[in-house]
Homo-oligomer: A and B are copies of this chain.
């Protein structure tokens, strides 16, 4: 028995498994973007991925898990966008401004992806263990990235220091998300109020930033 051979096979299988997994996420994402996650059944996703329904459950614990996987991929996308924009030469506040703006830009360019994030059903969060599936506290998440920038800004004096960095990051992230939720999922409401979505996004961001900067 050739051990190294077996190892390579195991690894190929691992790779293939990961590929299938991604293919399923692709299929699900596509349907999701077209019809909204609520209106897509596991059967449909399986068909789109040329698999049987049962097979999906070999790759994802549940429908919810599949949804989270989509969201995690989007979070990775956003993280990369943010990281590209980051300039270590600049002060914390300035970076915060820039990153915030590019997040908003992202939301304009990829509304579907933002929708995917925003549709994570909060009610499911009640079960603690589910949080682990959603990588918002991983080192490479946007939220953690924001935290680091705020910490820097507090050190260089450009951001107020009387709120802890984590709390401030969570607040800012949450604020921005809430407005994104409004303009992506509740646009009819926003329009009914006679409000322009882009303006709303920008105003909210300016407002949040004002609350955060050093005086």
Q: Mark A residues whose CB is within 8 Å of B.
A: 36-38, 118-119, 121-126, 128, 131, 136-137, 163-164, 166-168, 170-171, 174-175, 177-179, 181-182, 185-186, 188-190, 192-195, 199-200, 203-204, 206-212
Asked whether B204 lies within 8 Å of A171 as measured between CB atoms, the reply is yes
Which of A170, A194, A209 has the most C-beta atoms of chain B within 10 angstroms of its own C-beta?
A170
Asked whether A119 lies within 8 Å of B119 as measured between CB atoms, the reply is no
Known: A178-B178, A208-B211. Contact between A170 and B193, CB under 8 A?
Answer: yes
What residues of B have a CB within 8 angstroms of the CB of A177 in the complex? 178
Q: Which of B166, B174, B185, B209 contacts A123 (CB 8 A)?
A: B185
Which of A38, A123, A166, A208 has the most C-beta atoms of chain B within 10 angstroms of its own C-beta?
A123
What residues of B have a CB within 8 angstroms of the CB of A175 in the complex? 174-175, 178, 204, 208
Q: Which of B125, B200, B212 contacts A207 (CB 8 A)?
A: B212
